[in-house]
Structure 1
Amino acid sequence: MVKFIFSVLKTSPPNWTVERQLGKILFGIEVENITISHLSTPFNMTFKHKSELQEKENTTCVYHNRSRGEWVTDGCHTLRLTNQTICSCDHFSFFALMIPDMKLSEVHARTLSVLTCVGGAISVFFCTITLLTHCLQHSRKSTDHAMLVHLQLVASLLLLNLLLLTSVGLAFVGPASMASGLCPAVAALLHYSLLCCFTWMGLEALHLYRLLVLVYNTYMRHYLLKLSLLGWGVPALVVSIVAAVSTDFYGLNNRMCWIKDSGVQYGSVVAYLIGVLLFNSTIFAIVITTMLKLRSVTSPQGKRQSRNITCSVLGLTCILGLTWGVGFFSMGYTNYVILYIFTILNSLQGFFLFLWLCVKRLRGAEQSSMTTGQSSSTHILSVGSEVWPSSGRTRQSVQEGAIADNTAKF
Structure 2
Amino acid sequence: MKQNPKTVRMWMIICLLFSLGLAATENDRDFKMCGTWRHGSAPRNLKYDLRTGCTEIEISASESTLSIRGSITVKCTRSSSVPLNSNPLQNQSDFCVFWEPLLDLLIVEVNGKNHTLCKPKDLQENCCTDLSLGKQKNASLYGIVKGSIHGDIITNNVMEKYAFEGQSINCKKKFCDEAVSQTSRGANMIENVVMKSNTTGRVDLPCAQSTVIEMKEGFTGLNLTLPASRTEARNMIPSVYLPSCLKSATKSKSKVVCTHYKARKLFQGGPSDSTLLDDVVGLSVENEIIKNLPEPVRITFHHLPFPANCSGKCVSWDTRIDNEENWRGDGCNTFNINERETECHCNHLTYFAILVQVEQKATVRHLEALTFITAVGCAVSLVSCLVLFYWLCKRRIGKKNQTSLVHRGLVVAIFLLCLFFILTGTVANVENKTACVITGSLLHYSLLSTLCWMAMEVFHTFLLVRKVFSSDIPPWVFYLGGFGLPALLVIILLSIGDIYGEKKIVPSENVTGPYRMCWMLDGDKSLLAHYIINIGLLAVVVSSGAVMLFLVVKEIHNRPEWKKIHVSFLSIWGLTCLFGTTWGLGFLDFGPLSEATLFLFCIINSLQGFFLMLRYYALERMKKKDDSISDGSSSASSKQHMLQPHEKS
TM-score (norm 1): 0.65
What residue number does 1:41 align with?
none
The alpha-carbon distance between structure 1 residues 306 and 109, as it changes in their structure 2 partners (threshold 3 A), is same
What residue number does 1:208 align with?
461
Determine which structure has greater relative contact order: mean sequence separation of CA pairs < 8 Å that are 6+ residues apart, divided by chain length: 1
Letter in 2 for 1:362: R
Q: Distance in 2 between matches of 1:290 and 1:268?
A: 32
Identify which of 406, 413, 436 aligns with 1:156. Answer: 413
Q: Distance in 2 between matches of 1:262 and 1:241?
A: 15
Letter in 2 for 1:109: L
Residue 98 of structure 1 aligns to a residue in which SS?
A: coil
1:187 and 1:257 in contact (8 A); partners too: yes
Q: Distance in 2 between matches of 1:37 and 1:195?
A: 33
1:149 and 1:204 in contact (8 A); partners too: yes
Q: Distance in 2 between matches of 1:230 and 1:303?
A: 37
What residue number does 1:31 align with?
278
- The C-alpha deviation readout for 1:88-112, integer Å capped at 9, x for no partner, is xxxx95213415xx4214xx11221
Choose 1 or 2 for highest CA Rg.
Answer: 2
Identify which of 549, 566, 575 aligns with 1:284. Answer: 549
Letter in 1 for 2:421: L
| Cα shift at 1:262 | 2.7
What residue number does 1:198 align with?
451
Letter in 2 for 1:409: E
1:4-403 map, 5 Å: 4=264, 29-32=276-279, 67=339, 94-99=356-361, 102-105=362-365, 108-135=366-393, 137-138=394-395, 140-142=397-399, 144-174=401-431, 177-178=432-433, 181-211=434-464, 213-215=465-467, 217-222=469-474, 224-246=475-497, 248-254=498-504, 255-260=516-521, 261-292=526-557, 295=558, 302-304=559-561, 310-320=568-578, 321-331=580-590, 335-370=594-629, 372=630, 374=632, 403=641
| Cα shift at 1:65 | 12
The alpha-carbon distance between structure 1 residues 367 and 306, as it changes in their structure 2 partners (threshold 3 A), is farther
User: Tell me, which stretches of 5 or more residues in structure 1 are unaligned?
Assistant: 10-22, 39-63, 70-91, 296-301, 381-399
Q: Distance in 2 between matches of 1:333 and 1:375?
A: 51
1:252 and 1:258 in contact (8 A); partners too: yes
Q: Distance in 1 between matches of 2:586 and 2:639?
A: 38
What residue number does 2:80 align with?
none
The alpha-carbon distance between structure 1 residues 357 and 34, as it changes in their structure 2 partners (threshold 3 A), is closer
Q: Distance in 1 between matches of 2:598 and 2:567?
A: 31
Q: Distance in 2 between matches of 1:274 and 1:218?
A: 30
Q: Distance in 1 between matches of 2:389 and 2:589?
A: 34
Residue 30 of structure 1 aligns to a residue in which SS?
A: strand
Q: Distance in 2 between matches of 1:147 and 1:37?
A: 50
Q: Distance in 1 between matches of 2:530 and 2:388?
A: 31
Q: Distance in 2 between matches of 1:271 and 1:143?
A: 34
Out of 163-172 and 309-318, give the one that drifted further.
Answer: 309-318
Letter in 2 for 1:271: G
Q: Distance in 1 between matches of 2:371 and 2:398?
A: 41
Letter in 2 for 1:173: V
Number of equivalenced pairs: 307
The alpha-carbon distance between structure 1 residues 120 and 330, as it changes in their structure 2 partners (threshold 3 A), is same
Q: Distance in 2 between matches of 1:291 and 1:147?
A: 22
Q: Distance in 1 between matches of 2:599 and 2:483?
A: 29
- The C-alpha deviation readout for 1:217-276, integer Å capped at 9, x for no partner, is 432341x32112111111112212222222x11000021100003332222212210111
The structure richer in helix per residue is 1
Residue 409 of structure 1 aligns to a residue in which SS?
A: coil
TM-score (norm 2): 0.42
The alpha-carbon distance between structure 1 residues 290 and 309, as it changes in their structure 2 partners (threshold 3 A), is farther
The alpha-carbon distance between structure 1 residues 404 and 276, as it changes in their structure 2 partners (threshold 3 A), is closer
Q: Distance in 1 between matches of 2:639 and 2:468?
A: 13
Q: Distance in 1 between matches of 2:447 and 2:437?
A: 15
Letter in 2 for 1:258: W
1:6 and 1:29 in contact (8 A); partners too: no
The alpha-carbon distance between structure 1 residues 127 and 144, as it changes in their structure 2 partners (threshold 3 A), is same
Letter in 2 for 1:67: E
1:167 and 1:187 in contact (8 A); partners too: yes
2:619 and 2:643 in contact (8 A); partners too: no
State the percentage of identical aligned residues.
25
| Cα shift at 1:313 | 3.9
Q: Distance in 2 between matches of 1:182 and 1:324?
A: 28
1:156 and 1:193 in contact (8 A); partners too: yes
Q: Distance in 1 between matches of 2:463 and 2:268?
A: 60
Question: Is residue 409 from structure 1 mapped to residue 640 from structure 2 by the alignment?
Answer: no
| Cα shift at 1:339 | 1.0
| Cα shift at 1:144 | 2.3
1:124 and 1:158 in contact (8 A); partners too: yes
| Cα shift at 1:68 | 8.7
Q: Distance in 1 between matches of 2:268 and 2:486?
A: 40
Q: Distance in 1 between matches of 2:386 and 2:419?
A: 11
Residue 170 of structure 1 aligns to a residue in which SS?
A: helix
2:381 and 2:606 in contact (8 A); partners too: yes
The structure richer in strand per residue is 2
| Cα shift at 1:358 | 0.6
| Cα shift at 1:290 | 2.6
2:275 and 2:357 in contact (8 A); partners too: yes
Residue 358 of structure 2 aligns to a residue in which SS?
A: strand
| Cα shift at 1:349 | 0.8
The alpha-carbon distance between structure 1 residues 264 and 3, as it changes in their structure 2 partners (threshold 3 A), is farther
Letter in 1 for 2:446: S
| Cα shift at 1:6 | 7.2
| Cα shift at 1:199 | 0.9
- The C-alpha deviation readout for 1:170-229, integer Å capped at 9, x for no partner, is 12212xx21xx1110111111010011111111111222222x2136432341x321121
